């Protein structure tokens, strides 16, 4: 590997390779929009000819083409639906237009087709923009990476084929292909896609980098630390794919109601036609009135009232790093009136560090000991097992304790586990391999390491009911650390408490502001639900401005606490990250998971995911949901006012067909556009501002 390649090189003159283009579906890229535009143009060409008294052969075919351009697609889809015994409102519109033409109202029918096609295109646009926003979040990881071979050569491989331990070269301006750690080189990396930080972050040897982030002007050699399928980005992709395969119940409900309503409407239309006819009215007049009835009574505006605002809100939230899994969830988010927060990884950054290592006994190396080689102090392995003298601080006992704990923690996904493993690595310790690993969420882990049974976990749980001297010493050491605001974990070797580790985590910078916002929004103060000890929890809660703290909870106890609130009539939003939060997330009215720190189980169980772990987006998305719900209500009111008003007008008086068409389609387009307002950046800003109050 020539070292010059790793030195800072000038930025590439060509646009950065692998930079994700900002893709936004253009209106005319949608077939629906093109057909609507064609219909409109044909209509606009025909109308002046007709009005200036040109012969019918001049404008007639233009109208016919307008009908075909705007109507063939819904007619085709409607006929297909009919074969499956469902009645499509779209088909009724086409029938109404043809009916209007049949009784000589060619212009009115064409107008209906044009406006109808336009509202269809608007709906398609809303859906496409939603998909864009989500895809924009996902289209981040590059397809290939440059892998360095052991012989110093380089090969281009698919990022999906990268495995832990591979070394990849990231050139200036390239997107990083895998989650990993910088081996050498220096550069600044734009991590906005994953962390939301607007400014590039300086990276050098030892720093963590994420798949999908954009390298700046330096070159980096990166050791892959997570398989492609495991990367932060990949987990989110999998989740969204799953979510989009399911249909929101609200939509199913609307569709079911629409079915019944449409059938009733057809029956009513027939009655509106047949009854006056039987009473001796003229055929043309009755037919016209019936056509007008069918048009104005169609539930197009009602159908369009609900989904566009919710979809637009989902798209907007997605753009700002909150993935809401369905329209139902978007609806429910705004209903919450209580909040329960997890501590580790949620309120705190989830990147805790080991601050204290306190051996209580001397732990001899096992038969298969890998030396905990720290310069100058090789592990001797000569001390008798079970020696009660406290270990030497900073010496081999500390290292041995940490190495054993890290060996046991290595397979765990818990933030505390990562802290222990990182601490061992920082000291240059070899991690002994573990087997028989088990983990008890909210309690700790156990494994056989170096032939010894090692357990690491919460003091209160691991040492429950034990009265022996070693346990008492461990509890005392833990209490001492907890008084200092640390999370203490006990390391047990072969059933004997061998030491205590103190771990400190930082509050997220926006934690206090978020707690205040959520309090204002929901009208009640959030509670903290944590498996950690009461002392550390209380200290952190005070910093974040939370008064109600429930500490020492097992996962099922967290869920029980949530259910208890729900029984009291509250709608609880649970915000969590870990496997231990999954039951509570499932029990919640709405569960929200932290995307970066979050475990797979939490991401799957949650209804929404805060992709970049920005707490402040949570109150914003609640406010956005409320805005969406307000728009839905507004839309429903507008839609039903128009429908009932026009129906009454048609039945009681004489509603001219063109006016009926304009009223009906006008209200439909109005309702559709109203929903799209939530796509705008200003809608998010308003929600954020509302969340901040
Ligand atoms: P929180 O609810 O704050 O996210 P958890 O429920 O995940 O915390 O953990 C509660 C306690 O259980 C921790 O404070 C720790 O003492 C212990 N614990 C859980 N998992 C582990 C682990 N992998 N290693 C060590 N201790 C653990
Ligand atoms: Mg947690």
Domain 142-230 and domain 350-506, same fold? Reply is: no
User: Which protein residue has the closest C-alpha to ligand 1 atom 15?
Assistant: 458
In the reported structure, the alpha carbon of residue 693 is separated from the centroid of ligand 1 by a whole-number distance in angstroms of: 33
pLDDT averaged over 10-residue windows placed end to end, the chain, 693 residues: 30 33 68 93 94 91 95 91 83 87 87 85 74 61 85 87 90 87 90 66 89 86 84 62 53 74 89 91 86 87 81 82 84 94 90 91 51 34 36 69 94 88 92 89 91 94 90 93 90 94 91 95 94 89 94 91 94 91 90 82 84 90 95 92 94 87 85 85 90 71
Crossing angle (nearest 10°) for helices 511-522 and 534-544: 80
Helices (H), 554-656: 555-567, 582-587, 600-605, 617-652
Nearest-atom index, ligand 1, CA of 489: 16
The reply to whether the predicted model has a pTM over 0.95 is: no
Which tokens is 152 given? Answer: 């110093």
320-345 burial: b if 16+ Cβ within 10 Å, else e: bbbbbbbbbbbbbbbebebbbbbbbb
In the reported structure, the alpha carbon of residue 582 is separated from the centroid of ligand 2 by a whole-number distance in angstroms of: 10
Half-sphere exposure for 554 (CA within 13 Å, toward CB): 8
Question: Looking at the domain that runs over 350-506, which CATH code has it been given?
Answer: 3.40.1110.10
Nearest-atom index, ligand 1, CA of 576: 4
CA distance readout (Å), 248 to 307, 308, 573, 618: 10, 13, 20, 22
Catalytic residue among 342, 505, 613, 650: 342
Q: Read out DSSP for 227-238?
A: -GGGSHHHHHHH
CA distance readout (Å), 453 to 50, 431, 447: 92, 15, 6
Residues comprising the chain, all counted:
693
User: Which protein residue has the closest C-alpha to ligand 1 atom 20?
Assistant: 444
Nearest-atom index, ligand 1, CA of 488: 16
Which tokens is 184 given? Answer: 């050498």
C-alpha to C-alpha distance for 332 and 327, rounded to whole angstroms: 9
Helix (H) or strand (E) holding 444: strand 444-449
C-alpha to C-alpha distance for 146 and 59, rounded to whole angstroms: 63
What CATH class has 142-230? mainly beta
In the reported structure, the alpha carbon of residue 329 is separated from the centroid of ligand 1 by a whole-number distance in angstroms of: 29
What is the pLDDT at residue 90? 81
For residue range 180-199, list pLDDT tens digits in order. 999 998 999 987 666 655 67
User: Which protein residue has the closest C-alpha to ligand 1 atom 13?
Assistant: 532
CATH 3.40.50.1000 at 265-336+509-693, yes or no = yes
Q: Read out DSSP for 445-462?
A: EEEEETTEEEEEE-HHHH
C-alpha to C-alpha distance for 637 and 305, rounded to whole angstroms: 9
C-alpha to C-alpha distance for 218 and 6, rounded to whole angstroms: 7
Helix (H) or strand (E) holding 327: helix 327-333
Q: Is-catalytic flag, 230?
A: no
C-alpha to C-alpha distance for 268 and 145, rounded to whole angstroms: 64
Nearest-atom index, ligand 1, CA of 456: 25
User: Which protein residue has the closest C-alpha to ligand 1 atom 14?
Assistant: 532
In the reported structure, the alpha carbon of residue 432 is separated from the centroid of ligand 1 by a whole-number distance in angstroms of: 22
Cβ contacts of residue 275 below 8 Å, gap of 6+? Answer: none
What is the pLDDT at residue 365? 52
To test the pocket of ligand 1, the residue of 352, 488, 489 to mutate (highest count of ligand atoms within 8 Å of its CB) is 489
Ligand at minimal distance from the CA of 418 is: 1
Crossing angle (nearest 10°) for helices 31-51 and 106-138: 160
Cβ contacts of residue 44 below 8 Å, gap of 6+? Answer: none
Q: What secondary structure letter does DSSP report for 439?
A: E
What is the pLDDT at residue 593? 92
For residue range 221-271, list pLDDT tens digits in order. 999 988 877 776 666 656 555 545 455 555 567 677 878 888 898 899 999
Residues having CB within 6 Å of any atom of ligand 1: 342-345, 409, 412, 414, 416-417, 442-445, 456-458, 487, 489, 530-532, 578, 580
The partner residues of 341 in beta bridges, in order of sequence, read 528, 575
Return the closest-CA partner of residue 405 out of 471, 457, 461.
Answer: 457
Alpha-carbon Rg of the chain, whole angstroms?
A: 32
CA distance readout (Å), 11 to 22, 211, 217: 21, 20, 5
In the reported structure, the alpha carbon of residue 514 is separated from the centroid of ligand 1 by a whole-number distance in angstroms of: 23
* Residue for token pair 């030892």: 206
What phi and psi values does residue 149 have, to the nearest 5 degrees? -85, 165
Nearest-atom index, ligand 1, CA of 577: 4
C-alpha to C-alpha distance for 282 and 290, rounded to whole angstroms: 12
What is the pLDDT at residue 193? 64
Torsion-angle region of 664 (φ positive above 0: left; ψ -120 to 50: alpha; else: beta): alpha
Strand, helix or coil for residue 517: helix
646-657 burial: b if 16+ Cβ within 10 Å, else e: bbebbbeeebeb
In the reported structure, the alpha carbon of residue 414 is separated from the centroid of ligand 2 by a whole-number distance in angstroms of: 8
Domain extents for the chain? 16-140, 142-230, 265-336+509-693, 350-506
C-alpha to C-alpha distance for 300 and 672, rounded to whole angstroms: 10
By the 10 Å C-beta count (0-12 exposed, 13-18 middle, 19+ buried), 555 is classed as buried
């Amino acid at each position: 590997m020539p070292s010059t390649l790793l030195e800072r090189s000038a930025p590439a003159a060509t646009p950065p390779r692998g930079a994700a283009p900002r893709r936004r579906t253009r209106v005319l890229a949608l077939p629906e929009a093109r057909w609507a535009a064609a219909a409109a143009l044909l209509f606009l060409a025909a109308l002046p000819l007709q009005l200036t008294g040109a012969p019918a052969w001049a404008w007639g075919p233009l109208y016919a083409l307008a009908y075909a351009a705007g109507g063939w697609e819904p007619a085709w889809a409607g006929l297909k639906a009919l074969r499956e015994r469902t009645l499509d409102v779209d088909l009724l519109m086409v029938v109404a237009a043809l009916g209007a033409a049949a009784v000589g109202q060619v212009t009115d029918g064409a107008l209906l087709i044009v406006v109808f096609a336009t509202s269809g295109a608007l709906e398609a646009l809303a859906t496409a923009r939603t998909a864009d926003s989500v895809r924009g979040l996902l289209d981040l990881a590059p397809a290939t990476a440059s892998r360095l071979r052991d012989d110093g050569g380089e090969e281009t491989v698919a990022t999906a084929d990268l495995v832990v331990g591979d070394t990849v070269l990231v050139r200036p301006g390239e997107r990083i292909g895998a989650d990993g750690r910088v081996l050498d080189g220096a550069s600044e990396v734009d991590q906005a896609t994953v962390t939301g930080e607007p400014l590039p972050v300086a990276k050098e040897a030892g720093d963590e980098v994420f798949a999908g982030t954009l390298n700046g002007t330096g070159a980096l050699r990166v050791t892959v630390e997570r398989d492609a399928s495991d990367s932060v980005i990949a987990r989110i992709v999998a989740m969204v794919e799953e979510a989009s395969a399911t249909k929101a119940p609200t939509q199913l409900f609307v569709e079911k109601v629409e079915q019944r309503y449409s059938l009733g409407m057809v029956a009513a239309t027939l009655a509106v036609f047949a009854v006056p006819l039987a009473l001796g009215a003229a055929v043309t007049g009755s037919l016209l009135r019936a056509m007008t009835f069918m048009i104005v009574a169609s539930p197009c505006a009602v159908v369009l009232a609900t989904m566009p605002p919710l979809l637009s809100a989902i798209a907007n939230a997605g753009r700002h790093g909150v993935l809401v899994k369905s329209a139902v969830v978007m609806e429910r988010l705004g209903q919450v009136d209580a909040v329960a927060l997890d501590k580790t990884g949620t309120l705190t950054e989830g990147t805790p560090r080991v601050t204290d290592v306190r051996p209580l006994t001397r732990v001899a190396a096992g038969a298969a000991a890998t030396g905990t080689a720290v310069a100058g102090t090789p592990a001797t392995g000569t001390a008798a097992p079970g020696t009660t003298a406290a270990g030497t601080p900073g010496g081999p006992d500390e290292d041995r304790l940490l190495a054993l704990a890290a060996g046991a923690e290595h397979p765990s996904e818990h933030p505390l586990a990562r802290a222990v493993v990182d601490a061992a690595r920082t000291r240059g310790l070899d991690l002994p391999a573990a087997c028989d690993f088990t983990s008890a969420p909210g309690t700790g882990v156990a494994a056989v390491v170096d032939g010894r049974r090692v357990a690491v976990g919460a003091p209160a749980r691991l040492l429950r009911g034990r009265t022996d001297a070693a346990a008492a010493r461990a509890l005392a050491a833990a209490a001492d650390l907890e008084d200092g605001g640390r999370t203490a974990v006990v390391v047990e070797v072969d059933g004997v408490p061998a030491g205590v580790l103190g771990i400190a985590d930082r509050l997220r910078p926006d934690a206090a502001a978020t707690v205040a916002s959520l309090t204002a929004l929901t009208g009640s103060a959030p509670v903290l639900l944590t498996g950690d000890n009461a002392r550390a929890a209380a200290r952190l809660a005070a910093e974040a401005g939370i008064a109600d703290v429930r500490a020492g909870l097992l996962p099922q106890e967290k869920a029980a606490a949530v259910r208890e609130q729900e029984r009291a009539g509250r709608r609880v939003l649970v915000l969590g990250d870990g496997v231990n939060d999954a039951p509570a997330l499932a029990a919640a009215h709405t569960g929200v998971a932290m995307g970066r720190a979050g475990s797979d189980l939490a991401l799957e169980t949650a209804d929404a995911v805060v992709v970049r772990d920005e707490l402040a987006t949570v109150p914003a998305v609640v406010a956005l949901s409320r805005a969406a719900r307000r728009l839905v209500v507004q839309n429903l009111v507008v839609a039903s006012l128009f429908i009932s008003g026009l129906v009454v007008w048609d039945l009681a008086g004489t509603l001219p067909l063109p006016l009926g068409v304009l009223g009906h389609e006008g209200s439909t387009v109005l309702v559709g556009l109203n929903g799209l307002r939530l796509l705008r950046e200003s809608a998010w800003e308003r929600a954020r501002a509302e969340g901040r109050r």
